[in-house]
Amino acid sequence: MTEAEAAQELATLAVEIAQHDQAYHEHDAPLISDAEYDALRQRNAAIEAEFPYLIRPDSPSRRVGAAPGGGFAKVRHRVPMLSLDNAFAAADFTEFCARIRRFLHQPDDASLAFVAEPKIDGLSINLLFENGRLVRGATRGDGAEGEDVTANLRTMATVPDRLRGDAPALIEIRGEVFMTKADFLALNAAQVAAGQKVFANPRNAAAGSLRQLDPAITATRPLSLFAYALGDVQGSVPSTHSGYLDQLRAWGFEVNPLSRMLGGEAEAAAFQQETGLARAGLGYDIDGVVYKLNDLALQRRLGFVGRAPRWAIAWKFPAEQATTTLEDIRIQVGRTGALTPVAWLAAVNVGGVLVTRATLHNEDEIARKDVRVGDTVVLQRAGDVIPQIVHVMLDRRPLGSTPFVPPETCPACGSLALRAAGEVVRRCTGGLICPAQTVERLIHFVSRGAFDIDGLGEKSIQEFFDLGWLRGPADIFRLEQHRAELLTREGWKEKSVSNLMQAIETRRTVPLDRFIFALGIRRVGATNAKLLARHYTSYAAWHTQMLAATTVGSDERLALGSILGVGPSLADELTTFFVEPRNRAALDELAAFLTIQDAERPATADGALAGKNLVFTGTLETMSRPEAKARAEILGARVTDSVSKRTDLLILGADAGSKAKKAAELGVATVTEAEWREMAGF
Ligand code: D41
């Protein structure tokens, strides 16, 4: 199939599939069978996989149906799910009421009856029931279209599969899925125990749990639902919102028991205050109160502006705050070596959650807020369970306090901790030996482009680390010592153990570039490692020259900086690594186990590309233009910008344009990026 044919067919498919989507979703009258429809989508996906750059902005794969990569199907709500306008003060609420009266031509003293509902901080969903049976459940999405999470919603005890008693022929019932604070804390504790990621707050936990691709996982998550709104309906419903809430209860839904009918607008401020006081003691997060006009006929008359109804408003609470004392600032070392200051606080209740830590982000942030040990600080929880320090109460600062001094060494391993120019983050430079980074580094060390050790995956590395067998890369080559004990462990058999030992043994001989790449020095990716290996050719030469390059202004430092393709930041990262004695010791220890193969000398004068004039065009997929140029030059080629009679070779990236045409006219040879990599030996 040519590019032109592909583009033509994708255009046709886009129109055709859109027609079927419309027939199915909007008219409930499919024109073809599900199997035929699936075939069209598959055809579209197959062409897109082959010609990814031809994917149309209106491609069916971007619009409806299953997302590429096996996400959820999109579903259009029968009636859009509206959003809510916010009020932050009593005056906003008064204005909201005045606007309703103006719209309805009611006198200023006309009384308005509202239902007040605590505004749950969860995620809105839409449940479609036909003849009393749940047929579909979807997330809110953008209000018009959400994701089909029916299978997941069906696992929830609070989502009825069947409406109890009489039900309309069709009804959309809306509500909020949420997780209680207690369930959230228990889930996070379980996640920690299982080595899984923790959630920032109950809302994220609820959203993450509902959007699991495997409903069996959702089933294990403690999700709750409060129902609170009506979408499309065919059949009769009560004439008031409070009546509708009663009906929801009768059908088998849970409705927030704190929802209350208000006699008039004057009762709103009292309800707001009362709920604000109750907030921290509730089992779930709320961020305000939703006030809804009770009379559904009036709701219909008022309609909506933009995407929000004129008949409802969310009166938000201010963020929950508390004051406490800062007992210490401690440094946490992340898996990638980033140092993060964390505030250790005297325990305090903020919005119903006991808080003992707050993130301080980075040292600039500490300086900006001038946060010091001993200070009384104001904390704020804005949805997140990890709160922020809003400000310091300077009038309560103890005498003799001193500003925070960032550490110069890593608290986990004692290596130098440096902050690169222009960066906010301070990093540990002892990557190879820092216990905080060991697991991450080892995973990289054994990965495909590095030592490529079969049978030593993330799980085994974590297991061996936990057993104390792995503290650094050299320990991999000592695993043999633990063979007998490993055989007694679950999941390990004679065969798998000997395969692993064999794989490790094979990798005792390693090419220099893979060795350099495996060290995981920042900015030294596989291609830069190759560049270095080709330049220094032997481990001994590289090692000696790197050591010498740690002296600022040395010839070796200048030589390193002037290797084509090695920029100043890469040179800095390399010398930083060699400055740290612990890294050098780890390197020596490791090298003693290995035979490190010399890299091939770069083909200079005698290579196939030596003295040749090259031109690159189009977008290269595996490297940047400057890198491509640098590599070509290492091989003795010249790189120019435009194609002429003197051009020997044109390298075609994606979307090559006029240069390709010119080369064809002049009879200049062309190769693809892959062919060029082959020629250049990369
Ligand atoms: O508890 C809630 N989060 C809540 C959200 C609620 N009790 N009522 C709501 N009512 C509406 C309307 C009035 C538009 C039917 C809502 C939401 N909307 C809502 N949630 C997220 C966006 C809008």
What does DSSP assign to residue 476?
Answer: G
**Which of 228, 248, 310 for a ligand 1 pocket mutation test, highest count of atoms within 8 Å of Cβ?**
228
Give alpha helix (H) positions in 538-669.
539-549, 555-561, 568-579, 581-591, 625-634, 658-666
For residue 95, what pLDDT is reported? 95
Mean pLDDT of 283-312: 94
93-316 and 434-507, same CATH topology = no
| CATH 1.10.3660.10 is the classification of domain 434-507 | no
pLDDT tens digits along 16-39: 888 887 776 555 566 777 667 778
- CB 296 within 8 Å of CB 238: yes
Q: Which residue has the higher pLDDT, 400 or 567?
A: 400
Architecture label for domain 613-680: 3-Layer(aba) Sandwich (3.40)
CA 447 to ligand 1 centroid distance, Å: 48
Q: Say which of 119, 292, 629, 659 is annotated catalytic.
A: 119
Q: Is 148 in the pocket of ligand 1 (CB under 6 A)?
A: no
Tokens of 22: 């419309």
In the annotation, is 119 catalytic? yes
Q: Give the lowest-confidence range in 175-179, 576-580, 599-603.
A: 599-603
CATH H superfamily, domain 93-316: DNA ligase/mRNA capping enzyme (3.30.470.30)
pLDDT tens digits along 393-449: 999 999 999 999 999 999 989 999 999 888 889 999 988 889 888 888 999 999 988
For residue 201, what pLDDT is reported? 82
Tokens of 497: 């153990």
Q: Which residue has the higher pLDDT, 45 or 278?
A: 278
Q: Is the pLDDT of residue 531 over 80?
A: yes
Report the SS3 class of residue 13. helix
Q: Do β-strands 649-652 and 613-617 pair in parallel, antiparallel, or remain unpaired?
A: parallel
pLDDT tens digits along 63-116: 543 333 347 899 999 999 999 999 999 999 999 999 999 999 999 888 899 999
Q: Is the pLDDT of residue 605 over 50?
A: no
Beta-carbon neighbour count of residue 299 at 10 Å?
Answer: 19
Residue with CA at minimum distance from ligand 1 atom 15:
229
Q: Do β-strands 638-640 and 613-617 pair in parallel, antiparallel, or remain unpaired?
A: parallel
What does DSSP assign to residue 654?
Answer: B
pLDDT tens digits along 461-476: 989 999 999 989 999 9
CA 143 to ligand 1 centroid distance, Å: 12
Nearest atom in ligand 1 to 117's CA: 7
Q: Is the dihedral of CA 462, 468, 474, 480 positive or negative?
A: negative
What are the boundaries of each domain within the chain? 93-316, 321-396, 434-507, 511-597, 613-680
Q: 319: burial class by Cβ within 10 Å (0-12, 13-18, 19+)?
A: middle
| CATH 3.40.50.720 is the classification of domain 321-396 | no
- Tokens 């930083």 locate to 576
Tokens of 103: 């719209």
For residue 178, what pLDDT is reported? 97
Q: Give the lowest-confidence range in 51-60, 139-148, 335-344.
A: 51-60
Q: Is 116 in the pocket of ligand 1 (CB under 6 A)?
A: no
> Is residue 601 very low, low, confident or very high in pLDDT (cuts 50, 70, 90)?
low
Q: What is the largest CA-CA distance in the chain?
A: 97
Tokens of 431: 């990557």
Q: Against a cut of 0.85, is the pTM above it?
A: no
For residue 535, what pLDDT is reported? 86
Q: Is 229 in the pocket of ligand 1 (CB under 6 A)?
A: yes
Rounded-to-integer distance, Cα 39 and Cα 59, Å:
15
Residue with CA at minimum distance from ligand 1 atom 22:
83
φ and ψ at residue 389, rounded to 5 degrees? -90, 120
Select from 103, 169, 99 the least CA-distant residue to 131: 169
CA 237 to ligand 1 centroid distance, Å: 19
- Tokens 């001993």 locate to 374
Percent of the chain, pLDDT > 90? 57
φ and ψ at residue 293, rounded to 5 degrees? -60, 135
Q: Is 176 in the pocket of ligand 1 (CB under 6 A)?
A: yes
Rounded-to-integer distance, Cα 285 and Cα 383, Å:
8
Contacts with 194 (C-beta within 8 Å, 6 or more apart), sequence order? none
CATH code at 511-597: 1.10.150.20
Mean pLDDT of 49-71: 64
**Which of 81, 84, 287 for a ligand 1 pocket mutation test, highest count of atoms within 8 Å of Cβ?**
84
Tokens of 645: 């009679």
Q: Is 248 in the pocket of ligand 1 (CB under 6 A)?
A: no
Report the SS3 class of residue 417. strand
Tokens of 376: 């009384």
Select from 450, 513, 449, 505 the least CA-distant residue to 480: 505
Tokens of 142: 């953008």
- Which amino acid, residue 634? I
